[in-house]
A and B are shown apart, each in its own frame.
Chain A
Amino acid sequence: MAVHEQQATVAPPTAPARPPMSERTRHERRLGLMLSAPAFVVMVLVTAYPLVYAVVLSLYNYRLTDPAGKEFVGLSNYATVLTDPVWWTDFSTTLIITVVSVAVELVLGFGFAFVMYRILHGRGLVRTGILVPYGIITVVSAYIWRYAFQLDSGFINQWFGLGDFNWFGERWSSLFVIVLSEIWKTTPFISLLLLAGLVQVPWDLQEAASVDGASAWQRLARVTLPNMKAAIMVALLFRTLDAWRIFDNPFIMTAGANQTETLSFLAYRQNVTLLNLGVGSAISVLLFFTVVIIAFVFVKGFKTDLSQVRGDS
């Protein structure tokens, strides 16, 4: 530190990496560390530490119903999980829900964003309206849709002449209702993110394309969408990872019946319901890795620019 002090030249206030350490800079660094320390400590204690603990637990055969039988078993819990068809069924369920809901939400959300961008009367009203599904409790949304489709209480079958079709009687129709609730609840968020990106597309580019004789679709495909790439990728990444941990909707709507259990649900069931902390922790760790892989694919594979999310531009 003293070394830096000697080269006390004038530096711009936001100098990178190694600013010369004047009295003020030192004070600033100390203040910065002090102010961010609580956030840092809380995040490490409540996420990093339990995650390490999960890794440790996953190496043991450990059931809370039989604490005395705790023994080190190495990686065998992982083998147990990965060779069990339940993991793969839940994996595919989670994958289906994520892909379908994110794809639909992206298209629908873009439509919403475009309407909110172009609408002249009642823009505020529309924005207020779509914020209600955003703010509503997911469990409440799940109940609303479940009861709308349920045989003895729902109106859907009556309105669409479906007689006594039991939506929750098999896998695909159950997944349909789950995805519907998910889409209803989260499209507003994605549409607002896309609207923010849409607003930033330079208007003169649109104008120029229009003058050059580009049709509305061409303008959308060649000018608007490419200019929104950053906003779209960020919205996609966030929604994908959010959809990937889906728990509330299947829990409330089907309780996991008919192969509608998701990975988060599986982790919950093993850990909390069955108190099987060894296998449950292995599932937790694997779930964490799936998230890391998804994030990695987005950042490296699709070149999602997270600097604008992190705000350290």
Chain B
Amino acid sequence: MGGQKAGNRWTVYGVLILLWALFPLLWMLSLSFKDPSTFRSAKPTFFPKEWVWTNYKTVFSDSLFTSALRNSVGIALIATTLSVIVAMFASYAIARLDFPGKKVLLSMALAIAMFPQAALVGPLFNMWRNLGIYDTWLGLIIPYLTFALPLSIWTMSAFFRQIPWEMEQAAQVDGATAWQAFRKVIIPLAAPGVFTTAILTFFFCWNEFLLAISLTSTDRARTVPAALSFFTGASQFQSPVTAIMAASVVVTIPVVILVLVFQRRIVAGLTSGAVKG
């Protein structure tokens, strides 16, 4: 049947898309297993001639990378948590309550989502130095939290709008205040949306580079993307290429795991804020 054939054609396209998406990761993996002292060549090959673990040992014994990993995890988790909490209150209000300033808040979130972060690099750099939070976790957490807020607010208010609110009213009829209804009835119902928002926010913080190199100067607060751009390898005589790829593999693992486990949620979250449905 023609239908069967047409179905096969879409499957072939699907495989091509997968190849396109994942092939660069194979290259990263392959390069990360090449020997750092011999991988350079006039005729480089795709796969290593000999697979070695040297690069992984190098990055994990380099404090530049290990401290960056610690900073990245800490800063991303804290900023995500704070952003999600702040956005949760705002999203509830947007989805549920009628109050003055609602439009202002939504427009402002939209404006900040479009905001060029580079326009703030100079003033933040100067302000943070004066406030003494330049090159600290706090100095990155504050802007990350802010720039993640619009994404968090949209995604979550879109989820919140789908919650069966009669249950909240039922609780209020039973004598609960609005705050109690929020805490005891809505939060458990809203948890999936909150969680999805947290994943997307985490991706944002994990990825951020411009502020990370502008507002840090040492391994005290330098995150992985920033550290990667300063990475010099095991010694100054050795090319950092393979070690950078090993570090890249390490920091891509959490992304792959999150994507594998929460594919459905991430897709729902990405599209819910932008297109109603």
**Contact B118 A46, beta carbon cutoff 8 Å:** no
Q: Which residues of B contact A153 (CB under 8 A)?
A: 31, 39-40, 44, 241
Chain B interface bracket (under 10, 10 to 19, 20 to 34, 35 or more): 35 or more
Q: How far is the CB of A137 from chain B (nearest CB, A)?
A: 5
**Contact B90 A140, beta carbon cutoff 8 Å:** no
Within 158-185 of B, Cβ neighbours of A (below 8 Å) are at 158, 161, 178-179
Chain A CB count within 10 A is highest, among B98, B142, B224, B263, for B98
Q: How far is the CB of B122 from chain A (nearest CB, A)?
A: 3
CA distance A25 to B143 in the complex (A): 34
Stretch at the interface among A79-87, A207-215, A217-225, A241-249: A241-249
Q: Determine which of B86, B87, B124, B157 lies in contact with A311 in the assembled complex, contact meaning CB atoms within 8 Å.
A: B157
Within 273-313 of A, Cβ neighbours of B (below 8 Å) are at 277, 280-281, 284-285, 287-288, 291, 295, 306, 308-313
Q: How far is the CB of A109 from chain B (nearest CB, A)?
A: 11
Q: How far is the CB of B43 from chain A (nearest CB, A)?
A: 6
Q: Which residues of A contact B259 (CB under 8 A)?
A: 128, 131-132, 135
The reply on B244 being an interface residue by CB < 8 A is: yes
Chain A CB count within 10 A is highest, among B86, B100, B179, B256, for B86
**Contact B99 A143, beta carbon cutoff 8 Å:** no
The reply on B51 being an interface residue by CB < 8 A is: no
**Contact B119 A193, beta carbon cutoff 8 Å:** no
**Contact B122 A40, beta carbon cutoff 8 Å:** no
Within 75-100 of B, Cβ neighbours of A (below 8 Å) are at 86-87, 89-90, 92-95, 97-100
> A122-B11, A133-B21 are contacts. A271–B122 as well, Cβ < 8 Å?
yes
The reply on B107 being an interface residue by CB < 8 A is: yes
Looking at chain A's contact residues, is the secondary structure mostly helix, strand, loop, or mixed? helix
Q: Which residues of B contact A172 (CB under 8 A)?
A: none
Q: Determine which of A33, A57, A121, A265 lies in contact with B123 in the assembled complex, contact meaning CB atoms within 8 Å.
A: A57
Q: How far is the CB of A201 from chain B (nearest CB, A)?
A: 11
**Contact A124 B121, beta carbon cutoff 8 Å:** no
Q: How far is the CB of B270 from chain A (nearest CB, A)?
A: 5
Give B107's nearest chain A residue, CB to CB. Answer: A310
Q: Determine which of A14, A32, A244, A281 lies in contact with B122 in the assembled complex, contact meaning CB atoms within 8 Å.
A: A281
Q: Determine which of B112, B123, B179 lies in contact with A281 in the assembled complex, contact meaning CB atoms within 8 Å.
A: B123
Q: Which residues of B contact A4 (CB under 8 A)?
A: none
The reply on B52 being an interface residue by CB < 8 A is: no
**Contact B154 A137, beta carbon cutoff 8 Å:** no
Give B206's nearest chain A residue, CB to CB. Answer: A137
Q: Which residues of B contact A197 (CB under 8 A)?
A: 275
Q: Which residues of A contact B43 (CB under 8 A)?
A: 158
Looking at chain B's contact residues, is the secondary structure mostly helix, strand, loop, or mixed? helix
> A35-B89, A131-B267, A141-B24 are contacts. A43–B146 as well, Cβ < 8 Å?
yes
Q: Determine which of B92, B98, B105 lies in contact with A15 in the assembled complex, contact meaning CB atoms within 8 Å.
A: B98
Q: How far is the CB of A204 from chain B (nearest CB, A)?
A: 17
**Contact A125 B18, beta carbon cutoff 8 Å:** yes
Q: Which residues of B contact A184 (CB under 8 A)?
A: 20, 24
The reply on B237 being an interface residue by CB < 8 A is: no
CA distance A134 to B204 in the complex (A): 10
The reply on A206 being an interface residue by CB < 8 A is: no
**Contact B119 A32, beta carbon cutoff 8 Å:** no
> A32-B97, A126-B18 are contacts. A308–B119 as well, Cβ < 8 Å?
no
Q: Which residues of A contact B191 (CB under 8 A)?
A: none
The reply on A75 being an interface residue by CB < 8 A is: no
**Contact A137 B225, beta carbon cutoff 8 Å:** yes
- Quick one: CB contact mask for A183-216 with B, threshold 8 Å, 1 for yes? 0100011001101110110000000000000000
Give B20's nearest chain A residue, CB to CB. Answer: A184
CA distance A9 to B173 in the complex (A): 20
Give A198's nearest chain B residue, CB to CB. Answer: B275
Within 240-277 of B, Cβ neighbours of A (below 8 Å) are at 241, 244-245, 248, 251-252, 255-256, 258-260, 263-264, 266-267, 270-271, 273-277
- Quick one: CB contact mask for B117-161 with A, threshold 8 Å, 1 for yes? 111111111110000000000000011011001000110011001
**Contact A263 B277, beta carbon cutoff 8 Å:** no
Q: Which residues of A contact B112 (CB under 8 A)?
A: 43, 47
**Contact B93 A267, beta carbon cutoff 8 Å:** no
**Contact A139 B273, beta carbon cutoff 8 Å:** no
Q: How far is the CB of B269 from chain A (nearest CB, A)?
A: 10
CA distance A35 to B161 in the complex (A): 16
> A268-B121, A310-B110 are contacts. A118–B10 as well, Cβ < 8 Å?
yes
Give B210's nearest chain A residue, CB to CB. Answer: A247
**Contact A139 B11, beta carbon cutoff 8 Å:** no
The reply on A68 being an interface residue by CB < 8 A is: no
Q: A46-B120, A133-B21, A310-B154 are in contact. List 17 more A-B contacts (CB 8 A).
A: A39-B87, A42-B145, A42-B146, A64-B126, A119-B11, A127-B267, A135-B203, A135-B266, A145-B24, A153-B39, A154-B44, A200-B277, A245-B117, A263-B118, A267-B118, A277-B125, A310-B107
Closest 3 CB pairs of A and B: A32-B99, A271-B122, A264-B118
User: B: which residues have CB within 8 A of A?
Assistant: 7, 10-11, 13-14, 17-18, 20-22, 24-25, 27-28, 31, 39-46, 86-87, 89-90, 92-95, 97-110, 112-127, 142-143, 145-146, 149, 153-154, 157-158, 161, 178-179, 203, 206-207, 209-210, 213-214, 224-225, 228-229, 241, 244-245, 248, 251-252, 255-256, 258-260, 263-264, 266-267, 270-271, 273-277
